[in-house]
Amino acid sequence: MVLYDTTLRDGTQREGLIVSLADKIKVARRLDEFGFAYVEGGWPGSNPKDADFFAAARSIEWKNAKLAAFGSTRHRSNRAESDPNLVALVAAETPVVTIFGKSWLLHVREVLGATPEENLAMVADSVAFPAAAGREMVYDAEHYFDGYKDDSAYALATLRAARDAGASTLVLCDTNGGTLTDELVGILRATCAALGDDDLATGGAPEVIWGIHCHNDSELAVANSLAAVANGVRHVQGTINGYGERCGNANLISILADLELKTDFEPVPSGRLGELTEMSRYVAEIVNIAPDDHQPYVGRSAFAHKGGVHGSATARASSAYQHVDPGLVGNVMRLVVSELGGKANTQLRAEQLGQQLDGVDSKALSQVIKQLEADGLAFEGAEASFELLVKRHKAGYERPFELCDYTVLVEQRGGAEMLAEATVKVEVAGEVLHTAADGNGPVNALDTALRKALGAFYPQLDAVHLVDYKVRILDSEEATGAQTRVIIDSSNGPLEWSTMGSGTNIIAASCQALCDSLEYAIWKTGAEVRRRDERHFTTVARPARPE
């Protein structure tokens, strides 16, 4: 059983996914380290970046993966040895070459403008040319299942042409992603039988290695790939995190975990499965796509339990609501704090965050959380605010500052640029400081004024900056009077945290989230109040207001 990764080729066809040459090399190296048997690097005949990738790859020592160069059959008017695409494939000097050809007469006639006989010759010539140069040949039968349903005899003829020309692996592609599982298995079995591998699923030795390549347009790419494996396929193509055109490709993250944890197959070297979550997120980071929190096995929410019954049961027996141990794939179980949770969720989530509930009534605290969430807060998306809530319920905790009052003004006069100004009054250790600041908007002005005031007492706050600011309307039927939830992501470099606020006034909700963020930063960094004689205050000139 081998996994063939095509993230760097088919995966890059996802809308919005763009990678540089350096990105492609980083991803290929990580896949090789993880233990993938095949990594498809791209289509050298289609663009300079992929040609450059293969040139760079020649100087890299690959530990586990065979690099594959991908391309199409020759143009119908070209000879194989002079076809630019095929010449580029051989010039890439990869140990593996993957050729795709047409299985569906619709594509043969309407897309290629060729006759059925011409297409068969194109398939044979295009496989034979790299094979003669010593390359391992993989043949991707594009649109195979649609082609088989249209004309099974012709679809089979294309496979025979590829096999007879030297292809050692025949890959059946559900390119449009619309084939249902039972139908796919039926066609797979009929195809194997027609080419002499009728005992494949029961252990017979095939003439070729059979492969599968599924797209996810019917949400069946993973299921279809696994069903193919159960029926004798031993070469599975897909992409990391299911990236790909339209609805994506078969997700190799899920396929790999399913095969290793639920079958006797071991598609990557033993002991690497625990790196699966890290590897998935690493690739997501490189291609600049936010990880899917709800992705099976590796998503942040894959083993998160929000319901009180689920949380309580999982706390007693981890397998009660989990199909596998999350640690096996490098993930962790989380108990989500919300109005749906109970005492167990609150207590265990606090412990996961390093907060012991000594002296705190966890049942009473969970009731407080339920009420706060009924009022619009959402601790499941702002765990720093949850930690602060726990801390504030402990005896002896004193808040590092109090926001006595604040004012936020926004004005525009005479068509001039809009102005925003905030004034705040904070109390720290019995001292009150009143400051003001401008900003490019009311929340920015308030944030700047708060930092300016508190920075005089806690200089560590100078390192804190806002990473993201999200607003959600909770009851849109109330229109401009709707309850609003604000979540702020902040960072000081080593740490990143999220806080929240809620209310019918977006400025008040933002202020609540900002204060939580700064209080959390003071607490987590162990900041102490700067003495009066150490403080230095500066006056910042503001632009003149238009009359």
DSSP codes of every residue in 55-86: HHHTTS--SSPEEEEEEEPPPTTS-GGG-HHH
Record the pTM: 0.69
Question: What does the pLDDT average to over 51-71?
Answer: 96
Flag whether pLDDT at 514 surpasses 60: yes
What architecture is domain 68-277? Answer: Alpha-Beta Barrel (3.20)
Torsion of CA 440, 444, 446, 448, to 10 degrees: -100
Beta-strand (E) ranges in 278-332? 304-305
Confidence of residue 310 (pLDDT cuts 50, 70, 90): very low
The candidate with the shortest Cα–Cα distance to 387, out of 371, 365, 403, 402, is 365
User: Has residue 235 got a pLDDT over 80?
Assistant: yes
d(CA 259, CA 266): 7
Angle between helices 84-91 and 116-132 (to 10 degrees): 20
Cα–Cα separations (whole angstroms), residue 14 to 239, 245, 477: 11, 4, 36
Which residues pair with residue 128 across a beta bridge?
Answer: none
The neighbouring-strand residues paired with 519 are: none
With 70 as the cut, is the pLDDT of residue 147 above it? Answer: yes
> Two tokens at 365?
């605290």
Instruction: State the pLDDT confidence band at 333, using cuts at 50, 70 and 90.
Output: confident
Tell which residue, 151, 169, 157, has the closest CA to residue 213: 169
- Cα 495 to chain centroid distance, Å, stands at 21
Whether 68 has a pLDDT exceeding 60, the answer reads yes
| pLDDT value, residue 378 | 56
**Band of residue 311 on the pLDDT scale cut at 50, 70, 90:** very low
Q: Smallest Cα–Cα separation from 250: which of 277, 283, 213, 282?
A: 213
pLDDT single digits (tens) 449-507: 998 999 888 988 889 888 888 887 766 565 656 678 888 888 888 888 888 888 888 89
Which of 265, 241, 252 has the alpha carbon at shortest distance from 5?
A: 252
Read off the pLDDT of each residue in 333-355 and give the average, rounded to a whole number: 52
Mean of pLDDT values over 7-36: 94
Whether residue 349 has pLDDT greater than 90: no
Which band of pLDDT confidence, cut at 50, 70 and 90, is reported for residue 339?
A: very low
Q: How many CB atoms lie within 10 A of CB 440?
A: 12
404: pLDDT strictly greater than 70: yes
C-alpha–C-alpha distance, residues 341 and 333, integer Å: 15
- Tell me 336's DSSP state: P
Domain ranges of the chain: 68-277, 304-392, 402-534
Tell me the pLDDT tens digit for each residue of 48-60.
Answer: 999 999 999 999 9
**Mean pLDDT to the nearest integer, 530-539:** 53
Top-confidence residue, 286 or 134 = 134
Distance, in Å, from the CA atom of 189 to the CA atom of 211, rounded to the nearest integer, reads 12
pLDDT in the model for residue 319: 56
Q: Report the pLDDT averaged over residues 248-275.
A: 94
CATH architecture, domain 402-534: 2-Layer Sandwich (3.30)
User: Is 180 in contact with 218 (CB distance < 8 Å)?
Assistant: yes
In angstroms, the CA 397 to CA 399 distance is 7
The confidence score (pLDDT) of residue 469 equals 85
Residue 539 is predicted with a pLDDT of 38
Q: What is the mean pLDDT of the chain?
A: 85
The token pair at 24 is 């492609």
Confidence of residue 397 (pLDDT cuts 50, 70, 90): confident
pLDDT higher for 412 or 92?
92
Listed range (31-40, 304-313, 325-334, 444-453) with the worst mean pLDDT: 304-313
3-state secondary structure of 537: coil
Secondary structure element (H or E) that encloses residue 118, with its range = helix 116-132
User: What's the count of helices (H) and strands (E) in the chain, helices before strands?
Assistant: 17, 16
Please identify which residue in the block is written with the tokens 């992929």: 50
Query: What is the structure's pLDDT at 375?
Result: 56
